[in-house]
Chains A and B, each alone.
Chain A
Amino acid sequence: MEPGGSSGVGSGNSGTYTPEIAESLRFEEEIQSLIHQSFDGSSAAGGSFTALLGLPANQAVELLHHPGPGEPPASAASSSPTAGDLWRLRLGEHHAATDALRLPFGGSSTFVERAARFSVFATDDSPASSSGGGLSPGLKAEPPDSDSPPTLPAPAGRPRRPSKRKECEKSKAKAVAKKSKSAEENTSAVKPAAEENTSGDKLPYVHVRARRGQATDSHSLAERARREKINARMKLLQDLVPGCSKITGTALVLDEIINHVQSLQRQVEFLSMKLAAVNPRIDFSGLDHILSAECGPLAVGSGCGGGASGTAMWASDTAASTGGIRRMPPPQQIWHLDLVHPQQSSTVWENNGAAHPHFLLSPAISLVGYDPAGSVPLNSNQLKMEL
């Protein structure tokens, strides 16, 4: 048909049209093949399409044969402009072809308008008015639409759509982010289908909720509950670890948490090293000395000398006083004040020979009230000098 058609066209028309028309016919074949392929692929929107498909090629050829504008019948008007538009769609870059196609149609803009109105694939997005140039992007949007069954009315669908998408994304993020196994697959199996449907434009698509209703399955329920638990705890951890509140995604938050824990552990190592460095001058057994000196006038249990006796006393005293400390919280406040203003009386505790043993630990405890958060930064220079 094609070669005969082309020869007929070539013979019947004026010279200017021949190359373009030949091109257009070739394109027509291509389009037909493409359409048939896509038609085979998408069964859903087949019906109306085939009706048009049957016509366009022949109609186009006839129109080409008779390039006068004349008023083609309505069906032709409906079919050919769509075919022309389809051509425009498939062959977006081939402007020459589109121009050539436009020419035989003459007043094509009107036909295009009618096509838009009559078209089955009309949606709210596609502007049913005016220029063909404005129409083409709208029409270009049509073939993807053809895949989805235009069952739901568009405006009703639209407010639902963003919320659905949000839910989709939320749950997808959750699903992706969590380390769960089974129900995740269930819901995430749903999501790719939903995403495909909404990939083109904001158009009505198959309800996601219908599928998600399967979550009454005990497995998925349990998984969901587990996921909620983990989510809540992750939020708590996010609040705890500094700089985590802005981060989204479980993996990154866990990264931060791991870094934080590692840094804290390293800090402990470092501080214990520093304490070990400080201590040789002070000596473990001499702890009571320091603490007493710090607390000034407070009485101290052990005597002046360090050594075994002092430590033995300390150990026994503390063992005895563990209960005693707990019973007297109020005195700590007084000692807190004393600690803030430490006094230089090293002789005081020597005078107070017989002192209460439990006071020994409470000055230490008042160190805690020394506002550890606002502690003085370590002066490494001083340390070096002392060492």
Chain B
Amino acid sequence: MQVTEAFKHAFLKQMLLGFQASAVSTKSMGFQERKNAIKLSADVAMAVARGSRKWTRGLIAGLSEERQNRSFLRLILGEQYESLLKPCHSSWKIPRCKKIVRRSLRICWRKQKKNQSGVLARTLVEKRTQELKRLVPGGKSMDGSSLLDETLDYVLSLRAQVDLMQSLLTTFEASKLRSHSKRRLPERKASYVSK
């Protein structure tokens, strides 16, 4: 649907770049560190490949909150980094006229007093939306309808990410197998020759 080949290409490219960059920055890596580095570069690649979206900005903002990542992000993104960070403020509120807000709230209140049907369903839906806001990056400052929009996008790119990482994994494993078999053959040959 929205996942184009171009997106996948850009994604993979960015991810490999990220791998390289993280390898350059820290050579000695434990397992956890490596895993985090991989995940970080994968997420950044996804965000960069997708372009400018609410959730991508939210994702990068969330990642840059940890200091360790900032250097990596700056390396990857370059000048874009600063420009991406600025508009995405999770506490950024849309300016609203108080009078109008108060009036509409009063009307809502009166209608609620009149009739309490469907309250249970509404609370359930409210709970779900709160949780979805937590899951989707940058979702806290999103409207109900735009939240669904961003969720759609996010799900598509997550799927693409999973597919990509899986194919990477299979190729790595395949190459490993081949390298193993290559290594064993000369050993056997050597043992043969010696005997």
List residues of A whose CB falls within 8 A of some B CB: 172, 175-179, 181-182, 184-186, 188-189, 191-192, 219, 226, 229-230, 233-234, 236-237, 240-241, 249-251, 254-255, 257-258, 260-262, 264-265, 267-269, 271-285, 287, 290, 293-294, 311, 314-315, 318, 322, 325, 342, 344, 346, 361, 364-365, 367-370, 372-373, 375-376, 378-379, 382-383, 386
Contact = CB atoms under 8 A, between A and B. Distances in A.
Interface string B12-25: 11001101111110
B176 interface: yes
Contact of A179 (B5, B35, B125): B125
Nearest to A233: B148
B104 A219 contact: yes
A367 B167 CA distance: 7
A11 B42 CA distance: 102
Contacts of B122: 176, 178-179
Given A254-B129, A364-B13, A382-B173, A261 B136 contact: yes
Given A271-B165, A271-B166, A178 B125 contact: yes
Contacts of B162: 264, 267-268, 271
Interface size class on chain B is: 35 or more
A119 B70 CA distance: 86
B124 interface: yes
15 contacts: A178-B122, A219-B107, A261-B158, A271-B169, A272-B38, A275-B172, A276-B35, A278-B173, A279-B34, A284-B19, A311-B23, A361-B13, A367-B171, A372-B166, A378-B166
A343 to B, nearest CB: 10
Given A265-B135, A278-B173, A279-B34, A241 B145 contact: no
Nearest to B120: A176
Contact of B39 (A234, A254, A269): A269
B111 interface: yes
Given A261-B158, A262-B135, A290-B175, A182 B38 contact: no
Q: Which 7 A-B pairs rank lowest in CB-CB distance, beginning with the nearest?
A: A185-B111, A284-B23, A254-B128, A372-B163, A276-B35, A176-B118, A233-B148
Is chain A's binding surface mostly helix, strand, loop or mixed? helix
B155 A240 contact: yes
Contact of A386 (B17, B151, B180): B180
B144 interface: yes
Contacts of B112: 181, 185
Given A179-B125, A181-B112, A368 B161 contact: no
B84 interface: no
Nearest to A322: B13
Contact of A264 (B9, B111, B155): B155
Contact of B171 (A240, A290, A365): A290
A275 B126 CA distance: 38
Interface hub of A240, A278, A311, A368 (most chain B Cβ within 10 A): A368
B107 A233 contact: no
Contacts of B89: none
Interface string B107-136: 110011011011001101110110110011
Contacts of A233: 145, 148-149, 152
Contacts of A364: 12-13, 16
Contact of B148 (A188, A234, A325): A234
A265 B39 CA distance: 11
Residue of A175, A184, A186 ringed by the most chain B CB atoms within 10 A: A184
Given A272-B42, A314-B20, A188 B129 contact: no
A375 B166 contact: yes
B132 A287 contact: no
B159 to A, nearest CB: 7
Nearest to B39: A272
B150 to A, nearest CB: 10
Contacts of A379: 173
B77 interface: no
B178 interface: yes
Given A233-B145, A325-B13, A179 B126 contact: yes
A189 B165 CA distance: 52
Given A176-B122, A179-B129, A186-B111, 10 more contacts: A181-B111, A185-B111, A233-B145, A251-B121, A255-B128, A258-B132, A264-B162, A268-B165, A284-B19, A386-B176
B125 A189 contact: no
Contacts of B128: 250-251, 254-255, 258
B85 interface: no
B164 interface: yes
A159 to B, nearest CB: 27
